[in-house]
Every structure is written in structure tokens, then in C-alpha cells.
């Protein structure tokens, strides 16, 4: 069975994402790999999932697909981001989970990412430092909550607007309808931008939720959508599911879950700016698939730092994990001085960029894992830019939705999370 688009370099039609699954299979790595027949049994159903996505795209019934295809609001978003760039030196984003992770992943591709600060973990000390710090008059705040009732976000917004110092709230993003955040915006006369009510937060990166803060930091929003659209078209127009990289990735992951009930999906990104993408992926996979006893634990293990921490466990521990090595080359031009490197006995570093070392470590990690009988998928992009991150986001959105189809779960809800929010609210009400 051929694996066009899944093993070997990308085709001229597909976006520049390289996926190699050859070292995931048992015939390459032994008993620790995925049995080829187990993978092949899942592919017909993965094909049916792709057919459903094709129908949804044609009908415009699945928002995350429509935003990747859409271009009509980019000029308006760019104009608003440009206005904010003129008004503010820094934009502070108040939100959590899907409201901020996509924007952080996209903003990490920009050299101006430091103009953004995401306060996404309900950290009162950090918020106090912002409100007490210098240059508050040139700081803008963007408040994002789809429901308009996210407790952490509401608490931070109340603290900002209730502070004695005047603050600049650029806008509030929330879905239409009555909500505490809408009432707060009305009370203070704040601009309100509509969050698509049909779009889940973890699938919202290509909407204004992810693009607007990223564009404030100088990210090319069109490039991000172009990358997503290229992956979407290549995946859904593939002649067979084995030719669709996201479908193949989903089948691999579900085959691993069937083989090892406690399987973990380990993402090891090697390259500049990829760690925020890893956090976005972690939420997407965990919250979409972890239902009714199904799913697998996503583990973010950034390279090369986790070569010095988790890799020992991955190589010599109990196994039962599926690894993805994600690579993007570094473009920084500085080379190590050969004479200086030789003088200290590190001549092998001479003439190389730091990115050359990171790339060598990625290859070494993949080799060590496969030598230890661990299944390893290789994913690569030509650069960690907006187009590539957009492409990777769409790849993993599709991979997640297809995996959900194979598992028989709804990838777009999160009932356990909603239960936790309700319990926290009742606890505070009991203390009042």
C-alpha cells in the first residue's frame, strides 16, 4: 500500500509539511510499533470521516473549515490591528484556554511577539504588576470569552476596570446574547466584537479570536489562513485516506490507543517559536477526545530541553507512547567562530549555527527512540512562520476530528470542563 503525501517529501500540490510515518510501524521498529494491518483496518473509516468533512466544507456547516477558506474579513482585522498598534505599545490579552492558545501559537512566529502579553492563568500577581507598572497609558487590554461567563476572565476584567487608574480596553470578544461580559462592556461603554457562537475556542485560531491579537504583533493573518487552506485542500482532495496526512495521523493515533490503553501522544517540537504551538495542540487533543473512557494523554516535550529531563523515561521506561518529532529550521544567521570553538575543545561546533545543533539533536532523538523500539512520526515545516503554523494547526484540527470519528466521540464539546466551572462557581457562592 502506498503512502503518498505521508512518507517522503511533500508534493507540489500539498503545503510544505513533511510527514514520515515509516518508523511508526512494527515492521520498522519491532513489537513497540503499530501493526500495519491494524492501521489499514482503520483507514476506510477515516475515509468516511474525510467525506463528511468534504460535505461540511461544501455546505459551510463547519466553522473552523470556513474560516480557513475565508478572506472577506482580513482587511477589517488588519485595519483594527493597525489602529491598536498606533494607540498601544503593548496589548494585554485576558482570557484562558481556547480564547488565548491559538493567538499565542501564531504570535510566536513574529519578532514583535513581545508586544503581546497573555494573562491566561488567573494570576493576580502578574495582573497587579501590569496595573502598577510603568506606561499603563500606552497599554491596551483585550478581553476574550466565548460564553462571556468564564470566571477567570471575568475576575481579571473586573479588577482591570475597577482599578483606580484609568485603563484602555481595546475591545471585548464574546458571542452574541446576554452574558456577564456583555453587561460589563455595556456598563463601561466598551467596544464589543462578536465571537462566532458556532465556533469552539480550541478551533478558533483562524477567526478574530486568534488572528486579531497575532496581527497586532505583526503576524500576517492571510498567510496563516493560506497555510491552513492549503492543508485543508490537500487533505480533503486526496484520492484515498492513506494519501491524506491528517487521516493517516489519526489512524496511527487510534491504532496506538487500541494497542496500548494508557497510550500517550508525545509531541517533541524542535525549532524556534514552536512551544506555544505545542500548548495549543495539547488542549486541542485532550479536550476534544477525552470522553467516555476514550482518548490519550498529550505530552509536550520540547526539544532540546526535554532531552535533559523526559527523554530518559521515553527511552528506558515502560513504553506505550506514540512520538511526533516536529521540526522547523532556525533562520538566525550567526555562526560559531571555528577558531574559538577549536581552542576550547569543541571544534565540532565551529562554523555552525545554533539551529544546526538543534536540528542534529532532533535527528539524534528520532534515531534513539526508533533504536529503542519506540514508534516515531517525523513532521517538518520549512520555517516556523505564520503560513507554517497555520498549516500545522489545520493538520492537527483535521487529525483530531478524524480521530474523534474513529473513536465515536464528539470533538466539539467538553462536558467535564463545564462541570468543573459550575462547581467552582457554587463554591464561591457558598463563601459569600
Catalytic residue positions, numbered: 287, 308, 421
Whose CA is closest to 324, among 356, 362, 276? 362
In sequence order, the β-bridge partners of residue 379 are 19, 326
How far is 199 from 62, CA to CA, in rounded Å? 8
Give backbone dihedrals phi and psi of 137, rounded to 5 degrees, phi first.
-70, -20
The 3-state DSSP class for residue 379 equals strand
Q: What is the biggest distance separating any 2 CA atoms in the chain, rounded to whole angstroms?
A: 69
Contacts of 319 (CB under 8 A, 6+ apart): 32, 260, 373, 374
How far is 212 from 205, CA to CA, in rounded Å? 10
Whose CA is closest to 121, among 278, 279, 274? 279
In order of 113, 116, 281, 341, the CA distances from 90 in angstroms are 10, 6, 26, 40
Angle (deg, nearest 10), helices 386-407 and 275-289 = 20
Whose CA is closest to 205, among 63, 66, 393, 348? 393
Q: What is the DSSP letter of 240?
A: S
Provide the H-helix boundaries in 148-220.
151-161, 180-188, 208-216
The 3-state DSSP class for residue 269 equals strand
In sequence order, the β-bridge partners of residue 297 are 264
How far is 276 from 273, CA to CA, in rounded Å? 7
Q: Report angle CA 169, 174, 179 to the nearest 5 degrees.
A: 100
Cell numbers for 211: 488572528
Other CB atoms within 10 Å distance of the CB of residue 338: 13
Amino acid at each position: 500500500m502506498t503512502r503518498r503525501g505521508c512518507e517522503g517529501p511533500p508534493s507540489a500540490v500539498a503545503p510544505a509539511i513533511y510527514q514520515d510515518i515509516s518508523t511508526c510501524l512494527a515492521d520498522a521498529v519491532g513489537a513497540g510499533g503499530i501493526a500495519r494491518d491494524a492501521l489499514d483496518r482503520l483507514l476506510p473509516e477515516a475515509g468516511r470521516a474525510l467525506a463528511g468533512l468534504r460535505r461540511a466544507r461544501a455546505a459551510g456547516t463547519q466553522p473552523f473549515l470556513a474560516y480557513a477558506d475565508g478572506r472577506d474579513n482580513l482587511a477589517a482585522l488588519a485595519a483594527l490591528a493597525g489602529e491598536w498598534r498606533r494607540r498601544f505599545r503593548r496589548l494585554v490579552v485576558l482570557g484562558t484556554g481556547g480564547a488565548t492558545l491559538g493567538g499565542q501559537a501564531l504570535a510566536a512566529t513574529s519578532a514583535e511577539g513581545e508586544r503581546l502579553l497573555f494573562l491566561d492563568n488567573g494570576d493576580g500577581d502578574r495582573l497587579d504588576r501590569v496595573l502598577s507598572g510603568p506606561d499603563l497609558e500606552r497599554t491596551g487590554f483585550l478581553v476574550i470569552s466565548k460564553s462571556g461567563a468564564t470566571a477567570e476572565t471575568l475576575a481579571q476584567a473586573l479588577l482591570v476596570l475597577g482599578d483606580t487608574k484609568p485603563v484602555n480596553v481595546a475591545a471585548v470578544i464574546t458571542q452574541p446574547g446576554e452574558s456577564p461580559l456583555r453587561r460589563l462592556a455595556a456598563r463601561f461603554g466598551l467596544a464589543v466584537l462578536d465571537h462566532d457562537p458556532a465556533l469552539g475556542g480550541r478551533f478558533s485560531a483562524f477567526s478574530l479570536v486568534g488572528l486579531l491579537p497575532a496581527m497586532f504583533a505583526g503576524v500576517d493573518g492571510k498567510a496563516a489562513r493560506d497555510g491552513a487552506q492549503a492543508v485543508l485542500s490537500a487533505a480533503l482532495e486526496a484520492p484515498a485516506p492513506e494519501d491524506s496526512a491528517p487521516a493517516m495521523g489519526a489512524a496511527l493515533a487510534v491504532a496506538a490507543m487500541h494497542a496500548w490503553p494508557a497510550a500517550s501522544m508525545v509531541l517533541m517540537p524542535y525549532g524556534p517559536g514552536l512551544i506555544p504551538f505545542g500548548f495549543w495542540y495539547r488542549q486541542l487533543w485532550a479536550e476534544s477526545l477525552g470522553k467516555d473512557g476514550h482518548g490519550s494523554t498529550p505530552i509536550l516535550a520540547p526539544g532540546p530541553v526535554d532531552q535533559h529531563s523526559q527523554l530518559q523515561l521515553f527511552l528506558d521506561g515502560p513504553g506505550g507512547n506514540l512520538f511526533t518529532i516536529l521540526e522547523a529550521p532556525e533562520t538566525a544567521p550567526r555562526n560559531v567562530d571555528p577558531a574559538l570553538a577549536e581552542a576550547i575543545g569543541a571544534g565540532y561546533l565551529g562554523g555552525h549555527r545554533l539551529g544546526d545543533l538543534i536540528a542534529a539533536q532532533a535527528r539524534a532523538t528520532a534515531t534513539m527512540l526508533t533504536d529503542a523500539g519506540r514508534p516515531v512520526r517525523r513532521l517538518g515545516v520549512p520555517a516556523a512562520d505564520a503560513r507554517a503554523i497555520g498549516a500545522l494547526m489545520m493538520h492537527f484540527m483535521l487529525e483530531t476530528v478524524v480521530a474523534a470519528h474513529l473513536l465515536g466521540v464528539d470533538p466539539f464539546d467538553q462536558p467535564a470542563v463545564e462541570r468543573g466551572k459550575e462547581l467552582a462557581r457554587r463554591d464561591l457562592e457558598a463563601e459569600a
